[in-house]
Amino acid sequence: MLWTSSTVGSSAELSHGKLVLLLPTRNGIVTCADKRRWNETTGPSDDAQKIVQLAPQIAVAISGHHEIVMPSADKRLFVLYSLSSSVQSFYSSHPSASHPDWIQLKATLKEEFEAAHLKHNVKIALSPAATDDVVWEIEFLYLKDGYPIEGVRYHIDGAVEADDMPRRPYITGQTQVVNRILKPREYRDARFADLLNNAIVHVFNFAAIGYPGNITVDDALFVAHTLIRASFERMHLVTSDPNLVGPTCDCALIRDGVGFEWLEKGFNVRSTAVTCPPSLVHG
C-alpha cells in the first residue's frame, strides 16, 4: 500500500484480531478464521487475511497481535509489519522443507517480531480480549495421519514454544462466546440455549462418540459459521472488551494426499440458517 501525506504525524499501532477454528472431519480438517483486524484509532475492519497458503500441502492460520499498522487520517491502515509476511519469508528461503526446522523458525519469528516493534517504537502487548499470556499463535496446517502437526505461540515474556496440536477440535482467540456454547455444563448460560440445542453443534463436541468420522465438511462449516456469528453478535453479552471477531470469514480444507484448498473467502456468516434473537443483536 502506498504512503500518502495523510499519514504524516501518525503513530504506529498494534493490530489485533482473532478467532481461528480447526475442526477435524472425516474428509480432512476444516480451518476457518474471521477477517477482523482491530486497533485503537480506527476500530474494526474486516479485511484481514489470517489463513495463508505457503505451499500446495502447507498453510498457516494466525491469531492475536499479528501486525503493526499506521492508521491514516481517512482510516486506512498501512501495514508496517505482519507476522504472516515473516512466515512466508521464512518458507520462501526453505522451499524444499516439507515441514519447518522448528528451532530456526521459532528463533526467526521471535527476532523479526521483536525487531519490528523496536524499529517502530511500539510496545509488545496482549490483545485487549486476552484470557492468557499468549501474544500471538500460529497453527501450521499440514497433515500427518490426518492431523495437523504443530502450533507455535509467542508469550508476553518473550518465550516461544512449539508443540503438537491436539487430535480434536481446536479453537483459539477470543473464545468467551465459543466456550459458553461448547462447554454448557461449565458456564450454564441460558442466553445461548438456542445454539446449545442445535443438533449439529451438539454433536460437534470435544468428547462426542464417533468424532470425527461422523462429521462432514458441510457440518464443520455450519458449526464454524455458527460460532463466528455468535461471537460477533453476542460478545457484548459476556465481556466489555472490544469485539475482535468480525462477521466475515475465510475457510479452507486440508486433506492427506490432496493438500490445501479454499472452501470460502470473505463469507458473511450472517447469511447462515442459525438466527440470533433480535434482542441480542449488537454491532
Percent of the chain with pLDDT over 90: 41
C-alpha cell at 177: 462466546
Q: What H or E segment, with its residue span, contains residue 70?
A: strand 58-71
199: pLDDT confidence band, cut at 50, 70 and 90?
low
* 234-255 per-position pLDDT tens digit: 999 999 999 999 999 999 999 8
Range of lowest pLDDT (107-121, 159-173, 220-234):
159-173
Q: How far apart are CA 25 and CA 35, in angstroms?
A: 23
How far, in Å, are 70, 87, 197 from residue 81 at the CA level? 10, 12, 43
Q: Terminal CA-to-CA distance of the chain, rounded, Å?
A: 28
In terms of Cα–Cα distance, which of 68, 83, 73 is closest to 10? Answer: 73
What is the pLDDT averaged over residues 180-209?
A: 74
What is the pLDDT averaged over residues 186-191?
A: 85
208: pLDDT confidence band, cut at 50, 70 and 90?
low
Read off φ and ψ for residue 14, nearest 5 degrees.
-85, 145
Tell me, what's the pLDDT at 277? 39
Give the mean pLDDT of the chain.
83
**Other beta carbons within 10 Å of 172:** 22
What is the pLDDT averaged over residues 42-66?
A: 89
Percent of the chain with pLDDT over 70: 83
Q: How far apart are CA 3 and CA 135, in angstroms?
A: 28
Is the model's pLDDT at 194 over the cut of 50? yes
Tell me, what's the pLDDT at 163? 84
Q: How far apart are CA 63 and CA 36, in angstroms?
A: 10
The cell 499463535 sits on which residue? Answer: 137
Tell me, what's the pLDDT at 93? 84
Is the model's pLDDT at 98 over the cut of 90? no
In terms of Cα–Cα distance, which of 106, 91, 21, 24 is closest to 58? Answer: 91
Give CATH for domain 5-242+249-264: 3.60.20.10
* 270-280 per-position pLDDT tens digit: 986 554 433 33
Torsion of CA 280, 186, 217, 262, to 10 degrees: 70
Q: What is the pTM of this model?
A: 0.87
Tell me, what's the pLDDT at 249? 96
